[in-house]
Amino acid sequence: MTKIGFIGLGAMGTPMARHIARRFECVVWNRTGEKAQAFGAEHVAEVASTAGDAVRAAEIVITCLPTSNEVREVVEATEGSWREGQLLIDATSGDPTRSREIAEQLAARGVGFVDAPVSGGTDGAEAGRLTVMLGGEPAWVERARPIVDVYAAQVTHVGPVGAGHALKAVNNALLAVNILAAGEGLAALKKLGVSPTAALEVINASSGRSNVTEHLIPERVVTRAWPRTFRLALLDKDVGIAVSALRATGVPATIIPEAKAAFARARFELGDEADHVEAIKVIERESHVEIA
């Protein structure tokens, strides 16, 4: 049986690793060791004391870290531990340029790299129903596919190394734009005397609907529940990657850079632990209205 190393037991990594541990031999490593120990106590998984030990013990390694910077740190810290024929599947929502550099570094040792960011949130990860976008050479992608399948409802090979990360950044830029636009629109409607519940009922039966209006706002904003499942800081990072992709390709852009500026401001005001949907709190505060 293929042995999988899983590095990064955060909000997403933990439920994803749980699916891996149920189907494959598994070795986990996490920077905060207690989380890895707790995972090992609950699941059939070895706990490595260093990232290098996890890499040495596994045939295929999955990383699920905040940004490509941490992926690069881990790859550098484990440099001597990789051997020819191994594969790194990077489930981080990473940066395509950094990913191409990491892939080149690993290729020099005969190690494959596939970027495999995910969409679907912590609920999708728990349910094993994530959407996965793969970037990489076809032979490595085919090796990655049966592994990521265990936590996915849809897996699509979208292009060469970095293509998955570029697509994920654009997807999340759309999420950011939708959060801001829906927040602003609903704040104005509330001031005009339209209740958010009535507005959402109409929008969700009309052409302006999105995941934000169908799920995030009714479940998190109107209820004032504000659960913390996906850090605003991470969405800010994703929109920044999308802005870089727009600049690199010379596509004239106004909307996504505006969303980047708004999210950077919300991150500054609310801090790195705030949830992405809490960006709406800034709109509420500035417009002196609650979307509830």
Binding site for ligand NDP (CB under 6 A): 8-13, 30-32, 35, 64-66, 70, 73-74, 92-93, 118-119, 121-122, 229-231, 234
Q: Give the nearer residue to ligand NDP in terms of CB position, either 180 or 232.
A: 232
User: Which sign, positive or negative, has the C-alpha torsion 65, 14, 107, 143?
Assistant: negative
Pair 168, 64: CB distance under 8 Å: no
Q: Least distance in Å: CB of 215 to ligand NDP?
A: 13
CB of 92 to ligand NDP, least distance (A): 4
Q: Choose between 30 and 213: whose C-beta lies nearer to ligand NDP.
A: 30
Task: Report, in Å, the least distance between residue 117 CB and ligand NDP.
Answer: 6
Region for 191 from its dihedrals, namely left if φ exceeds 0, alpha if ψ lies in -120 to 50, beta otherwise? alpha
Tokens linked to 217 = 């706002």
Q: Give the separation between CA 181 and CA 183, rounded to whole angstroms.
A: 5
Catalytic one of 3, 35, 168, 190: 168
End-to-end CA distance of the chain: 51
Choice between 211 and 287, CB closer to ligand NDP: 211
Task: Choose between 37 and 197: whose C-beta lies nearer to ligand NDP.
Answer: 37
**57: its two tokens:** 């013990």
Crossing angle (nearest 10°) for helices 163-191 and 96-107: 160
Decide if 168 is catalytic.
yes
Q: Which residue is nearest to ligand NDP (CB)?
A: 10
Smallest separation (angstroms) from ligand NDP to the CB of 193: 35
Contact 4, 31 (CB under 8 A): no
Active site (catalytic) residues: 168
